[in-house]
């Protein structure tokens, strides 16, 4: 069938809007009509050419929501008409990783997904008879897409596509990092580095978990107000400080009998390796947990003194907030519908597919929290 798509033709070029061909679903695959998609950093990372694993030409996009149109042979968990969110981290419930209960990184279709292909090793998208690559198993920058059944979370039908698409990446990553990866408890003190589309969701996750002190760190002064909107209790702009950031943060967290200081939990939402170090070192001696969420440039390395870890700090990382998509995403949609979490104010811009490159420009300029393409 003919579908409308934004094609990443080659590294560093704007997306090209065109009509492309999409084949129907094969066994264990599902055709989905995309209703909305967010624009996220990793789309830009790939489009820019900075991602060494990026493939071209491709249909990017991994933060979508839509409706099932047709299912292939053997599909049992969704049917035409179901509302779904595509999952760049699938959940097969059968591979050793899923069965371990220790990770959300399902390995069932990992190899082909990384090669921009469906699990049978072929692409459903083509242009003039030449295949186009899929992206993160989702390719939501097209008004129809084909996904493996295990990469779809079925969600309630009263949830608005233009908002819950954000649960396909940013919301789940931020909230999941707090709940699944860090395991934050009520009364905790936390520091969030980078108050963008991910950091703001970490903040609302911390509020949900009942954290007492939520310190936000950002170089952009406009982020103070943004953070406070979602539960931030203190804001620090490193550019405004006379001295060093880490001792300043450690001092802020000192209270009563505890004169050691440091946060119980810290989160890097910048992707900057020196921020990652500051995040670890501003966590509490003996028990501080620091979670890396930001994706660093290819080849980057992190550093700290081993003493930091020997004295009990823990460095962790998270993909998709540790969420098991088919199980956890529908619950997060419920939290949104029940008013436990907010999404609407973070979607600062919307646009038709035709104007998708504007969404990338807004992200570059730091003017948007999230842009959403509406089909």
Binding site for ligand 022 (CB under 6 A): 40-42, 88-89, 105, 110, 113-114, 136-137, 169, 295, 319-320
Q: Choose the catalytic residue: 110, 229, 234, 349.
A: 110
Q: Choose the catalytic residue: 29, 34, 37, 40.
A: 40
Structure token digits, residue 297:
């440039």
Q: Which residues of 273-295 are buried (b: 16+ CB within 10 A; e: fewer)?
A: bebbbbbbbbbbeeebbbbbbbb
Binding residue for Zn ion (CB under 5 A) from 118, 169, 333, 353?
A: 169
Q: Do residues 170 and 40 lie in contact, with contact meaning Cβ atoms separated by under 8 Å?
A: yes
Binding residue for ligand NAD (CB under 6 A) from 220, 298, 311, 327?
A: 220
C-alpha dist (Å) from residue 108 to 19, 85, 326: 31, 19, 14
Binding residue for ligand NAD (CB under 6 A) from 9, 233, 272, 348?
A: 272
If one asks whether residue 41 binds ligand NAD (CB under 6 A), the answer comes out as: yes
CA distance 269 to 283: 15
Structure token digits, residue 318:
């998270």
Q: Choose the catalytic residue: 9, 42, 304, 350.
A: 42
**SS3 label, residue 250:** helix
Per-state percent for the chain, helix, strand, coil, to nearest 5: 30, 25, 45
In the complex, the smallest distance separating the C-beta of residue 178 from ligand 022, rounded to whole angstroms, is 16
Among ligand NAD, ligand 022, Zn ion, none, what binds residue 362 when CB lies within 5 to 8 Å by partner kind?
none
Q: What is the distance of C-alpha 99 from the center of its chain?
A: 23
If one asks whether residue 218 binds ligand NAD (CB under 6 A), the answer comes out as: yes
Nearest residue (CB) to ligand NAD, 55 versus 319: 319
CA distance 87 to 89: 5
**Active site residue ranges:** 40-42, 62-63, 92, 95, 98, 106, 110, 169, 370
Contacts to ligand NAD by CB under 6 A: 41-42, 169-170, 173, 193-199, 217-220, 223, 238, 269-272, 275, 293-295, 318-320
């Amino acid at each position: 069938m003919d579908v409308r798509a934004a094609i990443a033709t080659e590294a560093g070029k704007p997306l090209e809007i065109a009509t492309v061909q999409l084949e129907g679903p094969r066994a264990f695959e599902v055709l989905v009509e995309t209703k909305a998609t967010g624009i996220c950093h990793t789309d830009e990372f790939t489009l820019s050419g900075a991602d060494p694993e990026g493939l071209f030409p491709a249909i990017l996009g991994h933060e979508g929501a839509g409706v099932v149109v047709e299912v292939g042979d053997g599909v049992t968990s969704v049917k035409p008409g179901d509302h779904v969110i595509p999952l760049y981290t699938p959940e097969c419930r059968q591979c050793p990783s899923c069965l371990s209960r220790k990770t959300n990184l399902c390995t069932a279709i990992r190899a082909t997904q990384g090669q921009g292909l469906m699990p049978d090793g072929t692409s459903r998208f083509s242009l003039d008879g030449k295949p186009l690559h899929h992206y993160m198993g989702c390719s939501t920058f097209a008004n129809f897409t084909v996904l493996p059944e295990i990469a779809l979370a079925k969600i309630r039908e009263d949830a608005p596509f233009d908002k819950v698409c954000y649960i396909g990446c940013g919301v789940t990553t931020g909230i999941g990092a707090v709940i699944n990866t860090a395991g934050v408890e009520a009364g905790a003190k936390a520091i969030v580095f980078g108050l963008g589309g991910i950091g703001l969701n970490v903040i609302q996750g911390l509020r949900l978990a009942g954290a007492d002190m939520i310190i936000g760190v950002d170089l952009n002064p406009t982020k103070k107000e943004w953070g406070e909107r979602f539960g931030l209790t203190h804001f620090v702009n490193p550019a405004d400080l006379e001295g060093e950031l880490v001792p300043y943060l450690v001092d802020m967290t000192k209270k009563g009998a505890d004169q050691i200081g440091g946060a119980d939990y810290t989160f890097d939402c910048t992707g900057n390796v020196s921020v990652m170090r500051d995040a670890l070192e501003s966590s509490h001696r003996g028990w501080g947990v620091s979670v890396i969420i930001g994706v660093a440039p290819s080849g980057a390395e992190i550093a700290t003194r081993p003493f930091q870890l020997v004295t009990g700090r823990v460095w962790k990382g998270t993909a998709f907030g540790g969420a098991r998509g088919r199980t956890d995403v529908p619950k997060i949609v419920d939290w949104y519908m029940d008013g436990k979490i907010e999404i609407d104010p973070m979607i600062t811009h919307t646009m038709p597919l035709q104007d998708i490159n504007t969404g990338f420009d807004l992200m570059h300029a730091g003017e948007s929290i999230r842009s959403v393409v509406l089909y």
